A and B are shown apart, each in its own frame.
Chain A
């Protein structure tokens, strides 16, 4: 029984518990961790995109001062079983992951040799002296080529370079399209990106020879996944592998997969008997960390005369690079493009075909939004194109087509089911936040002055907080659908919550405390949260796919309630009342209506340290600890509408994003500060996706954008003021009413900005079908439009 008069922490702008440590330079990221006698690794990487590895001349390198050894695939690959991401999808072709290249390289940046030395400086000196002979093979640099028969499969045993393919079908799209009053279509292209977390990947492995136990400190979002993979790879019991994700400096999906370097340092630590550390530099990050968003979508939308959606067809080609990443598989992103393309709309006829193809580029992996940014870009551009054709306001065409309250739950063309999230409320919320009417008037004025001013909308829905009945990739080797929480009070009254998640900036240490504090009746500072350590919990995966609040939050609610009952039982006994008369407020356990009270420390001490305090038949169930697991089964629908205003200088073609409004629904908000922060950060990356960032490979598979000078991420002046509105349509089906969030900025903002640019250029008849819209691309579009007018 919780006092309803006590102000709740859930919903409050609680300052983060994590901050004082991080603000004072007391963070502990993997590269900060110092173990005696640590050896350092520099990796020699392939400079060929596709080649057979010939002779490796390392004699001069081995002789360099401070060098302990130089290792190739022949030395290390056979020491483990190569992790392979499996999938139940038909025609799926798997690719094994080896720590170093296995006789053949398939992307520039693939690790070939590991130089182990006393310092990173010395290791790099030696790496510069290694000569590798390559026998070049034909390079597949375009997804279209990978999908054709013109190139041999790049993996042994494969029939083609199509790693996975699938069709989605609902209704009769061809027939419905034929009856459409208006049809709009295009070939859309979203180019390749990389997440660029501020902390480069870093791994430190230590092998205890006495206990035969491997500990890996990893800059990872998924310590549980890594630990299970390592146990399998080394064929050892899980108790002999510990993976710890300490402070992790951002991930955005780039740290959600198993990397060859994690395998490598683990093998080397076991082999050499000393701790082994490898920290990626930024050049390596830009060329060997997983990449994303490389999608080509040819799509058509048919609508009736009132603008209602009749049919949607799409052909999706996803360039997933040289490997099917572990554990997500190559299916992850391309399937989600198809899965989410129908959007938050009523649409009965859908046909999509998807191919995920291997090219000689770094492996594709998750990046914030996964397939949803491309899906949203395509459908929202089509919506605007259809609106333009019919002379409709883009707000109205969306309003008219949203799934309505009485239509939920609604199954969309790909089989995904939306529960009742605030689609329409999001649109209206964003319209109000940006002041749409005034903004339209501003646009009129600007146009009268010859300025290129545009407004763009993007509405999306996504599935978050996935339970066990929803798989991001059916048959992939991990369970993403459950979380477990263990909460305990010790003999001093200290509360410790152990969770299977792995916070890397989202403030879960604080939001989970808010949940537990509210349930238990204590303050956030009374609770310690342990996360990111596979030794602390029986099983875990980590933090990814906007799941932690729903799943770990749900488990925390349940565990805290169960713990509270135990505290009440013990205290009731101690105070000679019934458990139902016990309340906990501000850490004090009280018998309501009396002045009898105990501190949590007194209760804890009584249970654990006072011999014979409780009768034996009570004591068995009285351990002040509770473990609960939570599975939301399906998951939650989250949604948002973004509205962007842009102005383009007609002469220089520089695009300025003047304002963005976002109205988002993530269900019940635990901490508005943190939700705002996630929206802001996602939108900033979305601006990068829309205007600045692009991984560029030439036809030989050489990465041309291999520094932060060329891979351009937004800095403060590139991000405009943002208005954020929280819709808070409480999720009926989840514990706590939460919906997952965090990825929306990269989903909605690129589409909204692309639409705004198209609006600004509407008078020139230019459509926007490719992102990023760089100044050079705009220049070409204008030149082409001029030429066709001539």
Chain B
């Protein structure tokens, strides 16, 4: 993000707000509904607090959900892994089951910012923030995640591809919150790979790519080169049909609409996206069992 220096927004302290600790998910949702768009959820705060400090947001109420134990569990089910929205990045990185069944997630998450951010930031917070250059949103679409969205009327399940609508925009209504993420187990013998390019270690990616390849099940996704993380079906079909990696790369370059910004032009991002997709496809293929 680059910020234009704007009248009244140039100083760095949060604006005034009321603070309340949610005692349960229901309580949090009720408060969201009550405050009708004037409340924000505070979990890890690693995305929210910079925006508050810059006064890019001025909510009337902050609802602190960081102490809800119900959101902090990682559970194995028959179909896959269920991760509570309040699970911190560090927890995911240190979880043996995640390391064993989703090494790709761990690979991606070592690129998430820095130690202190990973100690506090949560998976629910990261995907709700929906930065198109962030690792976790791309992991959601790549891993075919299903996201539990809880509102006043209960829980609805949203597929990752539907969850991310545009840059910094999700399908969440004002009175809804993410409560859990379901990751279906990967196909047996799948090879996976992730890579990204950033100016410095831990910075937002200029571009990133991930691949999951197992027989006919081919998944290819990119981040930082479109206004949401993107699965590129055309590229997946090519690889699933034993087409060439170069053709898959071209399909990705065709499919994305990258931005021009301070760090990189759309052209360069398009170039990078292709390079990185080529690399993850090769690596994922090598890693197949």
* Interfacial residues, chain A to chain B (CB-CB below 8 A): 42, 44-45, 47, 108-109, 120-121, 124-125, 127-130, 132, 281-284, 287, 651-652, 654, 692, 696, 702-707, 709-710, 712, 714-715, 717-718, 774-776, 779, 783
Pairwise interchain contact B13-A652, C-beta atoms closer than 8 A:
no
1/0 per residue, CB under 8 A from A, across B192-231: the answer is: 0000010111111010000000000000000000000000
In whole angstroms, what is the CA distance A692 to B197 when docked?
14
Residues of B within 8 A of A783 (CB): 267
B5 to chain A, nearest CB (A): 5
Pairwise interchain contact B272-A652, C-beta atoms closer than 8 A:
yes
Pairwise interchain contact B12-A281, C-beta atoms closer than 8 A:
yes
In whole angstroms, what is the CA distance A44 to B10 when docked?
8
1/0 per residue, CB under 8 A from A, across B1-21: the answer is: 111111111111111100000
Pairwise interchain contact A109-B8, C-beta atoms closer than 8 A:
no
**Residue of A42, A108, A129, A776 touching B11 (CB-CB under 8 A):** A42
Residues of A within 8 A of B4 (CB): 702-704, 706
B229 to chain A, nearest CB (A): 19
- Indicate whether A132 sits within 8 Å of B16 (C-beta atoms), given known contacts A692-B199, A704-B2: no
- Additional A-B contacts beyond A281-B11, A709-B204 (14; CB < 8 A): A44-B10, A124-B11, A124-B13, A281-B12, A652-B272, A654-B197, A703-B5, A704-B2, A709-B2, A710-B263, A718-B200, A774-B263, A779-B271, A783-B267
In whole angstroms, what is the CA distance A181 to B7 when docked?
58
B1 — nearest CB in chain A belongs to which residue? A709
- Indicate whether A125 sits within 8 Å of B15 (C-beta atoms), given known contacts A712-B203, A717-B200, A775-B206: yes
* Interfacial residues, chain B to chain A (CB-CB below 8 A): 1-16, 54-55, 197, 199-204, 206, 262-265, 267-268, 271-272, 275-276
A124 — nearest CB in chain B belongs to which residue? B11
A608 to chain B, nearest CB (A): 52
Pairwise interchain contact A706-B5, C-beta atoms closer than 8 A:
yes
Pairwise interchain contact A47-B6, C-beta atoms closer than 8 A:
yes
Residues of B within 8 A of A130 (CB): 8
- Indicate whether A47 sits within 8 Å of B264 (C-beta atoms), given known contacts A121-B13, A651-B275: no
Residues of A within 8 A of B204 (CB): 709
In whole angstroms, what is the CA distance A47 to B16 when docked?
24
A695 to chain B, nearest CB (A): 11
Pairwise interchain contact B201-A715, C-beta atoms closer than 8 A:
yes
Give the residue among B11, B54, B204 with the most A Cβ atoms within 10 A. Answer: B11
B204 — nearest CB in chain A belongs to which residue? A709
In whole angstroms, what is the CA distance A512 to B13 when docked?
41
6 tightest CB-CB pairs across the interface, nearest first?
Answer: A281-B12, A128-B8, A124-B11, A779-B268, A651-B275, A717-B201
Residues of A within 8 A of B265 (CB): 776, 779
Pairwise interchain contact A706-B3, C-beta atoms closer than 8 A:
yes
Residues of B within 8 A of A45 (CB): 5, 10
Pairwise interchain contact A714-B2, C-beta atoms closer than 8 A:
no
Pairwise interchain contact B2-A287, C-beta atoms closer than 8 A:
no
Residues of B within 8 A of A121 (CB): 13-14
**Residue of B1, B7, B262 touching A47 (CB-CB under 8 A):** B7
Pairwise interchain contact B13-A47, C-beta atoms closer than 8 A:
no
Pairwise interchain contact A775-B199, C-beta atoms closer than 8 A:
yes
Residues of B within 8 A of A44 (CB): 8, 10
In whole angstroms, what is the CA distance A287 to B6 when docked?
12
In whole angstroms, what is the CA distance A281 to B3 when docked?
15
Pairwise interchain contact B267-A779, C-beta atoms closer than 8 A:
yes
In whole angstroms, what is the CA distance A779 to B197 when docked?
14
Q: What would 20 A/B residue contacts be, using CB atoms closer than 8 Å?
A: A42-B11, A47-B5, A47-B10, A121-B13, A128-B8, A128-B55, A132-B7, A283-B10, A703-B5, A704-B2, A705-B2, A707-B2, A709-B204, A712-B199, A714-B200, A717-B201, A775-B268, A776-B263, A776-B265, A779-B265
Pairwise interchain contact A712-B200, C-beta atoms closer than 8 A:
yes
B267 to chain A, nearest CB (A): 7
In whole angstroms, what is the CA distance A42 to B11 when docked?
8
Residues of A within 8 A of B201 (CB): 715, 717-718
Pairwise interchain contact A705-B11, C-beta atoms closer than 8 A:
no
Residues of A within 8 A of B3 (CB): 283, 706-707, 710
B55 — nearest CB in chain A belongs to which residue? A128
- Indicate whether A692 sits within 8 Å of B200 (C-beta atoms), given known contacts A707-B2, A779-B268: yes
Pairwise interchain contact B11-A775, C-beta atoms closer than 8 A:
no
In whole angstroms, what is the CA distance A651 to B10 when docked?
39
**Residue of A714, A715, A776 touching B264 (CB-CB under 8 A):** A776
Pairwise interchain contact A287-B268, C-beta atoms closer than 8 A:
no
In whole angstroms, what is the CA distance A706 to B268 when docked?
23
B57 to chain A, nearest CB (A): 13
Pairwise interchain contact B268-A776, C-beta atoms closer than 8 A:
yes
Residues of A within 8 A of B203 (CB): 709, 712
A779 — nearest CB in chain B belongs to which residue? B268
Pairwise interchain contact B2-A125, C-beta atoms closer than 8 A:
no
B270 to chain A, nearest CB (A): 10
B285 to chain A, nearest CB (A): 18
- Indicate whether A108 sits within 8 Å of B5 (C-beta atoms), given known contacts A124-B11, A652-B275, A776-B265: yes
In whole angstroms, what is the CA distance A48 to B7 when docked?
9
- Indicate whether A710 sits within 8 Å of B2 (C-beta atoms), given known contacts A128-B8, A281-B11: yes
Residues of B within 8 A of A284 (CB): 10-11
Pairwise interchain contact A704-B262, C-beta atoms closer than 8 A:
yes
Residues of B within 8 A of A718 (CB): 200-201
Residues of A within 8 A of B9 (CB): 128
Residues of A within 8 A of B199 (CB): 692, 712, 774-775
In whole angstroms, what is the CA distance A717 to B202 when docked?
10
Pairwise interchain contact A125-B262, C-beta atoms closer than 8 A:
no
Residues of A within 8 A of B276 (CB): 652
A440 to chain B, nearest CB (A): 29
In whole angstroms, what is the CA distance A675 to B197 when docked?
35
Residues of B within 8 A of A654 (CB): 197
In whole angstroms, what is the CA distance A47 to B7 when docked?
6
In whole angstroms, what is the CA distance A260 to B148 when docked?
54
A694 to chain B, nearest CB (A): 9
In whole angstroms, what is the CA distance A334 to B7 when docked?
33
- Indicate whether A710 sits within 8 Å of B262 (C-beta atoms), given known contacts A718-B200, A779-B268: yes
A675 to chain B, nearest CB (A): 27
B81 to chain A, nearest CB (A): 31
**Residue of A108, A109, A651, A715 touching B200 (CB-CB under 8 A):** A715
- Indicate whether A705 sits within 8 Å of B197 (C-beta atoms), given known contacts A282-B12, A652-B275: no
Residues of B within 8 A of A706 (CB): 2-5
In whole angstroms, what is the CA distance A174 to B14 when docked?
61
Residues of B within 8 A of A715 (CB): 200-202
Residues of B within 8 A of A710 (CB): 1-3, 262-263
In whole angstroms, what is the CA distance A776 to B5 when docked?
24
B53 — nearest CB in chain A belongs to which residue? A281
A96 to chain B, nearest CB (A): 25
B82 to chain A, nearest CB (A): 33
A702 to chain B, nearest CB (A): 5
Pairwise interchain contact A652-B200, C-beta atoms closer than 8 A:
no
**Residue of B8, B11, B197 touching A283 (CB-CB under 8 A):** B11
Residues of B within 8 A of A651 (CB): 275
In whole angstroms, what is the CA distance A150 to B62 when docked?
53
Residues of A within 8 A of B1 (CB): 707, 709-710
B167 to chain A, nearest CB (A): 15
In whole angstroms, what is the CA distance A281 to B5 when docked?
13
**Residue of A109, A132, A779 touching B5 (CB-CB under 8 A):** A109
B38 to chain A, nearest CB (A): 17
In whole angstroms, what is the CA distance A287 to B9 when docked?
13
- Indicate whether A125 sits within 8 Å of B16 (C-beta atoms), given known contacts A47-B5, A705-B2: yes
Residues of B within 8 A of A714 (CB): 200
In whole angstroms, what is the CA distance A162 to B219 when docked?
60
- Indicate whether A287 sits within 8 Å of B5 (C-beta atoms), given known contacts A692-B199, A717-B200, A776-B264: yes
Residues of B within 8 A of A120 (CB): 13
B15 — nearest CB in chain A belongs to which residue? A125
Pairwise interchain contact B5-A283, C-beta atoms closer than 8 A:
yes
In whole angstroms, what is the CA distance A702 to B10 when docked?
13
